[in-house]
Structure 1
Amino acid sequence: MTTLGALYREALAAFRSTGLATPELDARWLVAEAAGSPATAVTLDPDRPLAPDAAERARAYIARRLAGEPVDRILGNREFWSLSFRLGPATLSPRPDTETIVEACLAVLPDKQGAYRLLDLGTGTGAILIALLSERPRARGRGIDKAAEAVKIAALNAEDNGVANRASFSVGDWMKGVDGPFDLVVSNPPYIPSADIAGLDREVREHDPLPALDGGVDGLDAYRAIAADAPRVLAPGGILVFELGIGQEEDVATVMKAAGFDLLGPARKDLGGVARALAGRLA
């Protein structure tokens, strides 16, 4: 019978041979998940025998990883802001870089007991909105996405993380048919120029939903649409916060200024030093 340690070594050898960036971590998480064990068990209990169905499941996970599927897609969930989020084919997997957007939003919503009204456009898993609601217990929010499947997953994530009574999710095309007022509109929109999609990493190109990536010819289509309509749904002095792609700060700043927003300083940088979150207040 196969043991936990033997299967881990099997996965590790396969991942190393194909040059995966984090073979030890990938092997540990996938084998432990297949076995229904904590990741530490791979080290602490390597001689634990695995039932045939668990070993079969682990080898299926290994094959999917070797085919380029990201670990979080295989596991079906991703941690973000110390919360757990379900994933689906219609959602992006929330990245650590996007936590910079949460930080930027919290900075402009300083009252921890404020009854803020929040709107998250292109909500996906609901990660940004749910993280904000977890930090502002009297705030309420709405998340909108064009994909019905994403909306369902976001609602489940709100339930899982204890904020379902303060969050609602609906299918929509940005703010069409939405009435305010909101104190803050936030969005991590599609921002990759269409011509650049083919050159993305395989894990992104083949497993992230294309509508959540493709920002049009120059990558700015969604920024223009959202910034132009945001004044209609924002309260006086309301704030718009965007996630930025690499090198987009100047262009998005121009779009926001043209729509009537005063920038609240330069963009906030992520841990890699990339300008990632840009905020503006409605003049």
Structure 2
Amino acid sequence: MRGCSFTAPPRDWRRLPPQPRSPRQAALPPAPPGAGWAPGPRGSRLCPRPRRESGGAARAALWRPHGLCSAGDLWQHQFQSLDSKSLHTPLTALQQEQIQQLSHKRLQRMPVQYVLGEWDFQDLTLKMRPPVFIPRPETEDLVSLVVEEEFQKCENSALCFPVPVPHPVILEIGCGSGAIALSLLRKLPQSRVIAMDKEEAAVDLTRENAHRLQLQERIHIIHQDVSHSCAKQLLLWGPIDVIVSNPPYVFHEDMASLDAEILRYEDLDALDGGDDGMRVIKTILALAPSLLKVSGSVFLEVDPRHPDMVEHWLQAQPDLLLTLRAVHEDFCGKPRFLHIQKQSSWQLCET
């Protein structure tokens, strides 16, 4: 489709059957009970995550409650490139030392993503290091929602040819490792992304991952706190089509109950959303109208208690011209993702 080229999901993309395992994956021993569990949003233990059988299945199998894994799991990841004959060869002294080092880190409650130094998100393998926030599995659905929305826009614009479809400009607030921004760049080849984070470690890691994936030409990375940002800084490519964020949304009173892996190693500012979990959410929404095109969208990952709170807050802020368009559930059936849209003043009056 002219002016609208990107990797579009199939119509029934949410119901695709599990993909067959590769010979190397099939040769791995069965995972012990509980291997299908994944840390829930922000590390809580919520529900079983269906096993992902596509790329990176060996690493995906390491998702356990709070990132737990056995020494055998670490061995599988560290030496998964060995052929079957090598699996029966005694470990060298160097290999034994590597396993001991990995196991020692894990015994110190270091999250397995930091132990391994990399992790899979969507179809990407990203570098990971503390204290940069570790992307959770459900956040992959946030990326899919943005891609689906762009696919729908592209379909609708087909009725208006020969008017070309502009290249979507996406802003990610709180980029962390770059998981969301880089996944969108990979799935939407015409897009450009502005990625911002207040932490220098996160900005550096996003930049490193962008270069590793050869996506650095279409991403502009900003070391900036959103609460101190102005529209002019973020409009270098013109008005924004989509703002996406997995902001800090844990209620402050819940922070103390987080797992030791999180409290010891991850950046707690990437988790703590203030008394109502909405401190950064409100900042993003207050800034959005000055950045978005009319009909532009904001996609947020939030706490299940937030959809009603956000809707009421927007209703009390009519000058923002933002409306809650949809609430989407995560794989546990929890209301987790918000789609908020900017409207013109006359559209708002009609609604």
Distance 2:325 2:68 in 1: 42
Please state if 1:282 is matched with 2:342.
yes
Distance 1:29 1:58 in 2: 10
TM normalised by structure 1 equals 0.84
1:76 to 93, 98, 117: 117
> Gaps spanning 5+ residues in structure 1: where?
1-11, 13-19
Change (3 A) 1:23 1:193: closer
Whether contact under 8 Å (2:174, 2:197) holds in the other structure is yes
Please say if residues 114 and 136 of structure 1, whose CA atoms lie closer than 8 Å, have aligned partners that are also in contact: no
TM-score (norm 2): 0.69
Question: Aligned partners of 2:298, 2:209: CA distance in 1, in Å?
Answer: 24
Q: 1:236 aligns with which of 294, 318, 321?
A: 294
1:187 and 1:159 map into 2 onto residues whose CA distance is 22
Distance 1:39 1:215 in 2: 41
User: Equivalent residue for 1:251?
Assistant: 309
Is 1:273 the counterpart of 2:317? The answer is: no
Residue 132 (str. 1) matches residue 184 (str. 2): yes
Aligned residues: 263
The aligned residue for residue 8 of structure 1 is: none
Deviations 1:202-223 (A, max 9, x none): 2222222111011111111001
What SS class does the counterpart of residue 132 from structure 2 fall into?
A: coil
Deviation at residue 138 of structure 1 after TM alignment: 0.6
**Deviation above 2 Å: which 4+ runs of structure 1?**
20-29, 43-47, 111-114, 177-180, 252-260
Q: Secondary structure at the match of 1:240?
A: strand
Secondary structure of 1:91's counterpart equals: coil
Give 2:220's match in structure 1, choosing from 144, 168, 191.
Answer: 168
Distance change in 2, residues 1:240/1:198 (3 Å): same
The gaps in structure 2 that reach 5 residues or longer are 1-31, 33-63, 156-164, 344-351
Cα RMSD (Å): 2.6
Matched, 1:38 2:80: yes
* Cα distance, 1:39 vs structure 2: 6.8
Residues 1:24 and 1:145: Cα distance change in structure 2 (over 3 Å): closer
Q: Which residue of 2 aligns with 1:61?
A: 102
Residue range with higher mean Cα deviation, 60-69 or 150-159? 60-69
1:27 paired with 2:79, answer no
Distance 1:84 1:241 in 2: 23
Counterpart selection for 1:179 from 221, 234, 259: 234
Identity of aligned residues (%): 28
Check the 8 A contact 1:262/1:282 in 2, yes or no. Answer: yes
> Where does residue 204 of structure 1 map in the other structure?
262
